Amino acid sequence: MALYPKHLEELINLFKKFPTVGQRSAERFSSYLLKSSPEEINALAEAILNLRKIKFCSICYNITETQPCEICSDGRRDRGTICVVEEHSDFIALEKTEYNGLYHILGGRISPLEGVGPDDLKIEELMERIKKNQPREIIIATNTDTEGETTALYLSELIKPLNVSHSRIAYGLSAGSNIANVDQLTLRRAMEGRKRLYP
Ligand SMILES: [Zn+2]
């Protein structure tokens, strides 16, 4: 005898595909939905179906419902600066800062171990964009782990011949960190990335 009616079992199996969701959580989600009103269930189903309207921006490859995306079509943004990031989540984080330029979302980082090469990312598209628009500056804001570093170096080698100014985000200490407790690599990078105060 099956433990659950067929449709409930199907739902549980779908939830189990979600990151960090196991059998127990999948069962909880499903029984929660089972007790929800038809309106709530419809709203959820509709939200999921609406995901199909989300596409990639043809310029920066961010996810968007308009073409080009809101950032790329916003005349108030500084069009001379392109900040290159790995993922949409990095864009979200940078949007909470003062940054007012454009973005380019690579869709990941070069990782030979995971079988991700330059061709799997929007690198070729970035180079075309740089050649076409001749931005003032490219800010390479990939992560500071090994893969992010490799990707940053790779990009820098490609951008150099185009004679376009590019920079790497500074490595630093997190706010509130105690110098004595910071790991060596972080401290070395913080020293290298120091900022002159005077003159
Ligand atoms: Zn865009």
Say if residue 111's pLDDT is above 90.
yes
pLDDT digits (tens, 9 = 90+) for 62-102: 999 999 999 999 999 999 999 999 999 999 999 999 999 99
- Cα 33 to ligand 1 centre (Å): 36
- Cα 119 to ligand 1 centre (Å): 20
pLDDT digits (tens, 9 = 90+) for 127-151: 999 999 999 999 999 998 899 999 9
- Cα 105 to ligand 1 centre (Å): 9
Residue 89 lies in a domain: yes
Q: What is the mean pLDDT of residues 50-64?
A: 96
Residue 44 lies in a domain: no
- Cα 149 to ligand 1 centre (Å): 24
Say if residue 172's pLDDT is above 90.
no
Residue 58 lies in a domain: no
Q: What CATH number is attached to the domain comprising 90?
A: 3.40.1360.10
- Cα 1 to ligand 1 centre (Å): 52
Residue 152 lies in a domain: yes
C-alpha to C-alpha distance for 47 and 69, rounded to whole angstroms: 20
Say if residue 34's pLDDT is above 90.
yes
Q: What pLDDT score was predicted for residue 185?
A: 86
Residue 105 lies in a domain: yes
- Cα 60 to ligand 1 centre (Å): 4
Q: Letter for the amino acid at 145?
A: D
- Cα 26 to ligand 1 centre (Å): 35
Say if residue 194's pLDDT is above 90.
no
C-alpha to C-alpha distance for 91 and 136, rounded to whole angstroms: 20
Q: Compute how many other C-beta atoms are within 10 angstroms of the C-beta atom of residue 100.
A: 12
Q: What pLDDT score was predicted for residue 16?
A: 97
- Cα 170 to ligand 1 centre (Å): 25
Q: 168-197 in b/e burial notation, b at 16+ Cβ within 10 A?
A: bbebbeeeeeeeeeeeeeebeebeeeeeee
Residue 161 lies in a domain: yes
Q: What pLDDT score was predicted for residue 173?
A: 84
- Cα 36 to ligand 1 centre (Å): 37
Domain around 128? 78-169
Residue 48 lies in a domain: no
- Cα 30 to ligand 1 centre (Å): 36
User: Across all residues in the chain, what is the average pLDDT?
Assistant: 94
Q: Compute how many other C-beta atoms are within 10 angstroms of the C-beta atom of residue 32.
A: 10
Q: Kind of pairing, strands 166-168 and 101-105?
A: unpaired
Residue 41 lies in a domain: no
How many structural domains compose the chain? 1
Say if residue 38's pLDDT is above 80.
yes
- Cα 68 to ligand 1 centre (Å): 5
Confidence of residue 174 (pLDDT cuts 50, 70, 90): confident
